[in-house]
Amino acid sequence: MFCCSHLKEHVQELTEEQISQMSPEELEWHFFKSHDSDKNMKLDGLEIMAAIEHRSEYNYPPDDDERLEYHTGLVDKILSEDDTNNDGMISYIEYVVSRRRVPGT
């Protein structure tokens, strides 16, 4: 689900040992919080895009324009599926609900 080194990159005050001992719910909280750059407890499109770019399992198109179009499409899909109140952002509750719908998370 979440890579310890990826989370450590964003949450410097935590040690790798602390991260490795976290529950899945704690990992999700820290992952969300670490990508909420404006600290409003919501992820906007740019914050979602930044989170996507850090995930290594996505196969990115090699061309920058294609990559931007690909990421924009992913962000649009995430917002259309998970932004249940249609405010253009994913709240932590919306994030948790969406993660529960994904098998293996």
The pLDDT score that the predictor gives to residue 78 is: 95
Which domain does 12 fall in, by range?
Answer: 4-101
Q: 36-93 pLDDT, tens per residue?
A: 999 999 999 999 998 887 765 556 666 778 888 888 999 999 999 999 999 999 999 9
The pLDDT score that the predictor gives to residue 1 is: 40
Average pLDDT over residues 12-34: 84
The structure tokens listed for 36 are 């909420």
Which of 31, 20, 2, 22 has the alpha carbon at shortest distance from 92?
31
The pLDDT score that the predictor gives to residue 81 is: 96
Given a contact cutoff of 8 angstroms between Cβ atoms, the answer to whether 77 and 48 are in contact is no
**How many domains, the chain?**
1
What's the helix, strand, coil split of the chain in %, to 5? 60, 5, 35
- Specify the pTM: 0.78
Q: What is the CATH number of the domain that holds 41?
A: 1.10.238.10
Spell out where 1-105 has E strands: 42-43, 90-91
The pLDDT score that the predictor gives to residue 2 is: 47
